[in-house]
Structure 1
Amino acid sequence: MVMERYQLIKPQKRKDRPKRTLEHVLGIPYYVLLITLIVIPILMMVLYSIQTERPAGVFTIKFTFEHYWSFFSEPLFVRVMIQSIYLAALSTVLTLIIGYPLAYIIARSRPRTQILLILLISAPMWINMLLRTRALQQVFEMTFPHLLGSDFAIIFGMTYIFLPFMVLPIYTVLNKIDPNLYESAADLGATRFQTIVRVIIPLSLSGILSGIMMVFLPAATTLVVPRYLGQGRFLIGNLIENAMIQQGRFGYGSAIAIVLSLLIMGLLYMIKRTDKYQGVNTLEES
């Protein structure tokens, strides 16, 4: 009896082996890009951050943590990082407050209307970010010039620029939720507001978290928005640019980038742990 089962299972493994081999072969370009564009640059930044520098940013073999110490020992730089995360967090919250209702309206619209609304939402992404920021700067100069350089102008610019990155992931998840859930909630006596709060929002947490990541990461490190809407105010992205490009301090700039990356990854990891409903009761699972 055991031998019969073994004979039935063994050919199945042989059939699956070519499929797995094909999957590994097709994944080679992905792994090459992953190593080339992500792993190697990160390793280079780590090496620069823990080695002493020569002129023009050429590092030596001598290891040191002076770049990290220089960053944390300067209160101004720490305040710049805190302010960058603060402004990025506020911008992310605003894009979520505006983007979620917008994504919900799009997902509940007719298919043709959805196409039109998605086109309108994604159209600004086709224009260069620098051009959009400069245009927004001119609008402020013509209407409210006293707001340029304020936190409001920076947050407004980030919200305007990164709003599509919040709407599209949420819309994708909302569009996959089984429509029967709306009817089931109504049959159980839930109002539309209760259905959204207790059913739809928990099921769309994966889209919300994806949107938060796609907005918070570029908002925390943006160069263009604080330069033009902040009237040259220094945020963490400008600090890294100034250290590496203008001063040639590659080790110091790499240390700042490593600290910021670890801090952001820690925050996103804590946020990601709240997602308990990913893939539950959606059209893909039904």
Structure 2
Amino acid sequence: MKQVPIEDYKAHSEIVLDAIPTYQDFGMEKKKLKRELVTLRKRLGKFQDVMYAHGKYAVLVCLQGIDTAGKDSLIREVFKDFNAQGVVVHSFKVPTELERKHDFLWRHYIALPARGKFGIFNRTHYENVLVTRVHPQYILGEFLPDVQSVDDIDDAFWARRFEQINQFEKTLHQNGTLVFKFFLHLSEEEQRQRLLRRLRLREKQWKFSASDLEERKLWDQYRKYYQDAIRKTSKEHAPWYVIPADNKPAARVIVASILLQSMQQYKDIREPELSKEIKSNLKEYRRQLEAQAKQSGK
């Protein structure tokens, strides 16, 4: 398979989600796509080992998408060949009482990856301009000084919040965290089919909630606010990529390929050189270890 043209998936300030396909297969059957992913994720895993040794960059992968878009399974499949110590996954749910006592970015700050590691946010700080925009009454639970009622949550409020998010990501980039944001672009019909599958399959039923159907009624609002968020926050240092998500194997290949190609552009990421002292004594170190084996009769 040829390299995925990553620029085709990068979002811009005029993006129209309804004009972007939700399905891709590259003319390949699912088995072949899965084999392609195995190759990509092994290369990604090796690259992360080098990045860990290099120790100057961290990677933040942000995954957003409507319910059933495939975030959980993408994380499982794309990062399967990583050293477990090199990747940390955070799934952000409804804010806890402690989290509500801080600004909306606080819980994301403390979950950021250390240098040398990949951090994956399954749902992200963008929930604060998506779910809360569809349900502005949730903002009241943040106890903000200038918000006494839903009427106080106006366009200026959202503009300020977008500015704070952009500044957050710019600060991360300037300090060595590479930010990748993926929107899993699912069709309304495919979501319907996946929800039905959850109801049909006993092992999937635990994932279903009646609230899924209530949120589904708000599809158009979510689509509108996703589009607005992507337009306002897709920057060169923290780009959004819109990933066709109706075909899960292809979506995983696209995400893995974007990450690998983008990371390979950082030519300074390489294993550190051995010190001159160690280099000059390698033969002696080997001699000592080999001699120990002879002495022990092994």
User: TM-score, normalised on structure 2?
Assistant: 0.24
- State the structure with bigger RCO (CA 8 A, min sep 6), 1 or 2: 2
Higher strand share: 2
Structure in which a larger fraction of residues adopt helix: 1
- TM norm structure 1: 0.25
